[in-house]
Structure 1
Amino acid sequence: MIAIVSGLYAASPTAAAMPVVTARLPEALEALSASDGMQLWWIGVMGLTGDVIFAAAAMMVAFGLVLRGQPIKVAGWLGIALSNIIFVGVDALVGRTLVMAASSGTSEAGFVAAKSFSDALFISGTFAFGAGALLLFGPALIPSGTFSSRAISFLGIAVGLVGVGAALICLFGVDAGQLLGLAIAAGSAIFLIVGMRAAKDALA
């Protein structure tokens, strides 16, 4: 579901859906006003549901790892859970508040405030996601791991580095919103693979 939401973000006007620098906020309002906002509306529908499910699942996995005494992975899964909790706010703002603000003739100042808050949450959520991925996949890069697990871990670490790096440069005013989206989309695909492998192992 998160992968579908990532696709909806990619199909939406970039300036409206992704974090942008202050100079591009008028562009975001213009792009959103010119569109019908349906992609963003569906982000609100599917994103909120997917974020809650993903966050709950991540916390359940973290609890299981606490019992098994794996604190680094616990921290990683809690980072993923925190990211999804933050993205509940992002998807609510993007899929509901921004669409209504653009279509109802809200003042530009009101839209800018909502968009700036949404962007700040997006950056924070991506940082938490990237940090969580680094903590989760880093320990798996060990000589005793299988080739496939190490390959997935390598990709997970790459995604984590992109997420953390993009979030940090965005905080310093760099227009790197698309890198944030790339990190979340790629990370969602990797976690889908991890989930499918775990389900296969459980049924074996």
Structure 2
Amino acid sequence: MDDHPIIREGLTHLLHAHENLHVCCVAGSAEEALTAVACKPDLAIVDLSLQSNSGLDLVRHFRQHHPTLAILVLSMHDEALFAERALRAGANGYLMKLGATEHILNAIREVLAGNVYLSAAMHEKLARTLTTPTKAPTSAIANLSEREFEVLHLIGLGFSTREIAEKMSRSIKTIEAHQANIKQKLGIRSGKELMRFAIQWLEGQ
């Protein structure tokens, strides 16, 4: 499921071109996906950025209520930042939209076969993570909600509060509330300090 019609239509067309793959339902929101899953698919392709709520919340719901469902996350977000969160939420694989056309069929086959799909670079990063002591700031970031994590990511990329609100289809007040929560959880006192932290955090990934 994806909240962009062009992406949904393009992906459906691509998959229907292969005889052994069939798209039984599509959805443009989490609410539609919860209804559409009644068609009992073998695989759900989920976008992280949804207008109504976090795609990771939908992944968690699917994993809890449909434990045998294979889940592939297809997202515009950098896998170095979001793939591990997606796997912990219950996804079987993570694919960035940037490389979707080239790798989507392989990713689908892998997760349907019961394997975990990640890029080679992400496999290496996770392996390094397992052998590297956890740093305090990283532990604090792990306590952020999915929306707060996404806001921090966008701050680090240099987007203003207004631009973040537009990208996430939220009000400026909502984004400001997320920023306040982030500062409280990370022990940050000002907006400038938050921006500096977010930039340094992204550079360290």
TM-score, structure 2 as length reference: 0.27
Could you say which structure has the higher strand fraction? 2
Q: Which has the higher contact order (CA 8 A, sep 6+)?
A: 1
